[in-house]
Chain A
């Protein structure tokens, strides 16, 4: 594993005069679980949106597996192997859980406009398999909007996995979850990593989750990176403690 899979250099994003992301450097090593933490408004979600191309950086460059993806369109970046789930649940609400996953599989195979594959059936068993792996078998025929919050988050992971990404970007995967659901998600992310040799970049407020599964942690505050290093080291960092104590987190 030579060089980082994802490489951000001096990336900034302004909204008017407000600098949401300010000169961020970030290296995510292939095969690692990398957490981005920081108080509310630190710029984590904005950073993720820059990486996935939903937003364009005002400055800086982003490379994914050696290729410059700065300013590319979302779907083009996704096709290079960057899967994501959003902080606010983002699914196809009126499609069934199974169809949500099938839509992702169809897109990955780039056969959506292939009318020779008349039905999207051909993706059924793979989709069901993915639902199984995130523990959603029973809800396959349920519309996504009718699933419980925890199940919706699990479905998001299944949808993201269906694109067979090399890297998975999860923005607060356990947001709003019960302790039980959180535990299930943590277990899931750990299992995915070992099964798929997947790189995971995620943001999270729950410190137990962060230090439970991450290899490396980057700390942001007010748009800047204030600490970055192996999980163990960041945990003992005083500047980090200060940020968290200061912000009632």
Chain B
């Protein structure tokens, strides 16, 4: 039993080390080599990747469609912006506080919205975020209303240069993604997926579904808010649209396109979305149209998104390879995967499309 368990476990350990290392190395390298324009786009992508991955904790793992993610994202941005405007506190203090603020807002919002299900939950979250949007819009003296807050001096001079801003964002994004990933592979993540799959069964096991969903909501809110602060680092501005429902739609688009059943799917979605946007808007004005069409195609034909396609193909290729290797004379008991019982994190070994595995 110990020998059989070693394989998949080692695979997961390898993956949990190799993937982050490769990712960090790639981001560092890109920071050096890319043009300033592309570095800036990538910086934006990284912030959005955190936004999308945090949203996907609800969508992909919890099965909760929240249309109120902008409330957290915008709050994060506004906390930094208002702190600068009203001299509340230095940038760094505000920045560190954003996840706390996002978590608190999520706690209040979730405590109410999670008492309802599906459509009503979605509508309540939408209503909450529109409330924020309206508040910011009307209180001109306090928030600068529809104009928003724009200034390069909102962020420290050290972050104002594109490449340092990029490295900072990359660092924060990587740490955030790592934490979110840990959450998804923790016992909490497993139970959260279970509540998504079958709420009644989970309750019969003794799970307090409400409490689990609320915790997921708070974690998601905290990181969405942090992503909002990263937006300020990138854009040196904050404006009401960050709180609007169109902003709530973005991470959902990204998660669906990239694949909500794979941890990095939403991050890939953010990359596609942003570079796609850049490319398309250079050539036509039909970004929304193309986005809509892409989304439709994904939902109709590949509900597990791009990551689903990739992992399915990778899996097929791997098993083909294994079969060929088997024919070449491996000991027979190692040939069919069926007998090797992957213990612990067995989901890792048999990646099934449709089940979110990190």
- Is A128 in contact with B341, judged by CB distance below 8 angstroms? yes
Q: How far does the alpha carbon of A128 sit from the alpha carbon of B5 in the complex, in Å?
A: 11
Chain B interface residue bracket vs A:
35 or more
Q: How far does the alpha carbon of A123 sit from the alpha carbon of B182 in the complex, in Å?
A: 17
* Nearest Cβ on chain B to A167's Cβ, whole angstroms: 13
Q: Chain B contacts of A103 at CB under 8 A?
A: 190-191, 193-194, 202, 205, 207
* Nearest Cβ on chain B to A236's Cβ, whole angstroms: 36
Q: How far does the alpha carbon of A221 sit from the alpha carbon of B289 in the complex, in Å?
A: 61
- Is A96 in contact with B347, judged by CB distance below 8 angstroms? yes
Interface centre among B183, B208, B215, B349 (most CB of A within 10 A): B208
* Nearest Cβ on chain B to A77's Cβ, whole angstroms: 8
Q: Using an 8 Å CB-CB cutoff, how does the interface string of A80-108 with B read, 1 for contact, 0 for none?
A: 00001010001111111011101110111
- Is B215 in contact with A107, judged by CB distance below 8 angstroms? no
Chain B CB within 8 A of A125 CB: yes
Interface centre among B190, B203, B354 (most CB of A within 10 A): B190
Residue of A nearest to B352 (CB): A143
Chain A CB within 8 A of B286 CB: no
* Nearest Cβ on chain A to B175's Cβ, whole angstroms: 15
Chain A CB within 8 A of B343 CB: yes
Q: Chain B contacts of A84 at CB under 8 A?
A: 204
- Is A79 in contact with B206, judged by CB distance below 8 angstroms? yes
Q: Using an 8 Å CB-CB cutoff, how does the interface string of B192-226 with A read, 1 for contact, 0 for none?
A: 01100110111111111101100100000000000
Q: Chain B contacts of A94 at CB under 8 A?
A: 197, 352, 354-355
Chain A CB within 8 A of B350 CB: yes
- Is B206 in contact with A141, judged by CB distance below 8 angstroms? no
Interface centre among B1, B188, B338 (most CB of A within 10 A): B188
- Is B212 in contact with A78, judged by CB distance below 8 angstroms? no
* Nearest Cβ on chain A to B268's Cβ, whole angstroms: 21
Contact of B185 among A118, A124, A143, A163 (CB under 8 A): A118
Given A115-B186, A119-B185, A120-B187, does the pair A141, B205 have CB atoms closer than 8 Å? no
Q: How far does the alpha carbon of A112 sit from the alpha carbon of B209 in the complex, in Å?
A: 11
* Nearest Cβ on chain B to A52's Cβ, whole angstroms: 6
Q: Chain A contacts of B338 at CB under 8 A?
A: 138
- Is B1 in contact with A92, judged by CB distance below 8 angstroms? no
Chain A CB within 8 A of B29 CB: no
- Is A90 in contact with B201, judged by CB distance below 8 angstroms? yes
Given A91-B201, A96-B350, does the pair A140, B341 have CB atoms closer than 8 Å? yes
Contact of B194 among A75, A92, A123 (CB under 8 A): A92
- Is A95 in contact with B191, judged by CB distance below 8 angstroms? no
- Is B355 in contact with A119, judged by CB distance below 8 angstroms? no
Chain A CB within 8 A of B62 CB: no
* Nearest Cβ on chain B to A45's Cβ, whole angstroms: 13
* Nearest Cβ on chain B to A108's Cβ, whole angstroms: 7
Q: Chain B contacts of A54 at CB under 8 A?
A: 200, 203-204
Residue of A nearest to B182 (CB): A118
Residue of A nearest to B356 (CB): A94
Q: Chain A contacts of B339 at CB under 8 A?
A: 138
Chain A CB within 8 A of B342 CB: yes
Interface centre among B186, B193, B354 (most CB of A within 10 A): B186
Q: How far does the alpha carbon of A194 sit from the alpha carbon of B344 in the complex, in Å?
A: 28
Contact of B187 among A52, A117, A137, A141 (CB under 8 A): A117
Q: Chain B contacts of A112 at CB under 8 A?
A: 187-188, 190-191, 207, 212
* Nearest Cβ on chain B to A79's Cβ, whole angstroms: 4
Chain B CB within 8 A of A142 CB: yes
Contact of B347 among A79, A93, A141 (CB under 8 A): A141
Residue of A nearest to B339 (CB): A138
Given A95-B193, A98-B347, does the pair A106, B198 have CB atoms closer than 8 Å? no
* Nearest Cβ on chain A to B12's Cβ, whole angstroms: 8
* Nearest Cβ on chain A to B1's Cβ, whole angstroms: 7
Q: Chain A contacts of B204 at CB under 8 A?
A: 52, 54, 74-75, 78, 84, 86, 90
* Nearest Cβ on chain A to B9's Cβ, whole angstroms: 7
Chain B CB within 8 A of A111 CB: yes
* Nearest Cβ on chain A to B187's Cβ, whole angstroms: 4
- Is B186 in contact with A118, judged by CB distance below 8 angstroms? yes
* Nearest Cβ on chain A to B267's Cβ, whole angstroms: 21
Given A90-B198, A94-B355, does the pair A75, B207 have CB atoms closer than 8 Å? yes
- Is A92 in contact with B198, judged by CB distance below 8 angstroms? yes
- Is B182 in contact with A96, judged by CB distance below 8 angstroms? no
* Nearest Cβ on chain B to A69's Cβ, whole angstroms: 13
Q: How far does the alpha carbon of A100 sit from the alpha carbon of B204 in the complex, in Å?
A: 13
Q: Chain B contacts of A159 at CB under 8 A?
A: 201, 205
Contact of A142 among B5, B188, B197, B350 (CB under 8 A): B350
* Nearest Cβ on chain B to A184's Cβ, whole angstroms: 20
List A residues 161-181 near B (Cβ within 8 Å). Answer: 163
- Is B347 in contact with A121, judged by CB distance below 8 angstroms? no
Q: How far does the alpha carbon of A211 sit from the alpha carbon of B343 in the complex, in Å?
A: 38
Residue of B nearest to A106 (CB): B187
Q: Name 9 A/B residue pairs within 8 A (Cβ), A-sorted.
A: A74-B203, A95-B194, A96-B352, A119-B185, A120-B190, A124-B5, A138-B341, A141-B346, A143-B352
Q: Which residues of B contact A (CB under 8 A)?
A: 1, 5, 9, 12, 182-183, 185-191, 193-194, 197-198, 200-209, 211-212, 215, 338-339, 341-347, 349-350, 352, 354-355
* A-B contacts besides A84-B204, A94-B352, A143-B352, 11 pairs, CB < 8 Å: A78-B204, A86-B204, A94-B355, A107-B205, A115-B183, A119-B187, A119-B344, A120-B186, A123-B187, A124-B5, A141-B342
